[in-house]
Structure 1
């Protein structure tokens, strides 16, 4: 007897959840230029999907850092850089200042084209 199953995580869904979490964070903390998220909070955000919070997090962040917003200087990425700190169990995110200002002004976030990624 053979049981075949696959688990293909939806990186784009988790990237969208993370970007919306960042958007809420920016609204709640209007002076923030960066953020530090506890990975336990990301685990809850990803609906307790341990693989997405650990092994797949870098892949999800690679998609999340492709989200842009319209600024006076054209479309700018929201995330300028990120770092997963496994020792401190945290995710550190630095934001692009121009994109952050546009986000605070209420401009819409532009998602990457999912059909261009494999």
Structure 2
């Protein structure tokens, strides 16, 4: 997907969508940075000071979950999922649209189930 199509999509969504994308993107970046920092401090503490951070593994597990739930809405809104188009060139335009709708509905159902 090109940058121009991303910019066009952001303009179509308006200000609320842009704010949500900045918010989720910023939160995902912050969580990723904190995971890196906690891992660094834990390794330094474990090997140099013989005092690892207590519960760091569990904290990082929770951060991974938070990272996934911050990044998935962005990926979904931008339609940047990893796709393999082995057979899409064989499908008609109508079938391709139907496939896109079915995949979108399945995605919504799965994300809703994950959130509950």
Question: Aligning the two structures, in what range does the TM-score lie when normalised by the shorter sequence?
Answer: under 0.3
- Between Structure 1 and Structure 2, the one with more strand by share is 1
Bigger radius of gyration:
2
Q: Which has the higher helix share?
A: 2
**TM-score, reference length from structure 2:** 0.26
TM-score (norm 1): 0.25
